Structure 1
Amino acid sequence: MAVSADLGEALENFVIKLVASGRYHSKSEVLREGVRLIQEREARLAVLDAAIARGLDDAEAGRMRPSSEVFDRLEAKLAGKANRS
């Protein structure tokens, strides 16, 4: 299935400059790279969304610790690293 896209003047000019610079060999190569970057971003967002959902589920189920306990533990860990330096 072929895809055609109207990028608008500014984006079209940008793509043309990228090809003219030799960085990419064709407009299609520029667009493929752009879509790959979007795929990577969407995958990272999906992982983040899943982590947020797990955190919310844990909070609703009462599986959490008071922030003071967490901060105390982090401060102790950082202090231990600082003492080793």
Structure 2
Amino acid sequence: MPTSVALGSHFEEFVKSQLSSGRYNNVSEVIREGLRMLEDQERLRALKLEALRAEVQKGMEDGPGIPAGQVFENLRRRIDEIAAGETE
């Protein structure tokens, strides 16, 4: 299945440099390697997203959090205690 792709000068030079290095025998090998890397990157991104969604779901199932007002009040009280020398 021949495919024509316009790479642009930057990537054309990059492909040439890869061929010159001797690591690849032809343009197709370079492009396939790039596509394999992209495929791996996308697979990893999907796994990370899945893990993040699982963590969000876990957090939502843990029940309600502390209201922001209460958090700030606790911080203010703790700062006042530290300022008054009542550190533990």
**TM-score band w.r.t. shorter chain:** 0.5 to 0.7
What CA distance in whole angstroms lies between the structure 1 residues aligned with 2:39 and 2:25?
21
What CA distance in whole angstroms lies between the structure 1 residues aligned with 2:47 and 2:54?
11
Q: Which residue of 1 aligns with 2:48?
A: 48
Q: Which residue of 1 aligns with 2:60?
A: 60
What CA distance in whole angstroms lies between the structure 2 residues aligned with 1:26 and 1:10?
17
Deviations 1:28-58 (A, max 9, x none): 1000000000111111111100000000111
- Equivalent residues in 2 for 1:1-80 (5 A)? 1-62=1-62
What CA distance in whole angstroms lies between the structure 2 residues aligned with 1:2 and 1:56?
44
What CA distance in whole angstroms lies between the structure 1 residues aligned with 2:54 and 2:61?
10
What CA distance in whole angstroms lies between the structure 2 residues aligned with 1:2 and 1:54?
41
Bigger Rg over Cα: 2
Determine helix, strand or coil for the equivalent of 1:22.
coil
- Please, which runs of 5 or more residues in structure 2 have no aligned partner? 64-88
| Root-mean-square deviation over aligned CA pairs | 1.3
Deviation at 1:14, TM superposition (A): 1.1
Name the TM-score, length of structure 1 as normaliser. 0.67
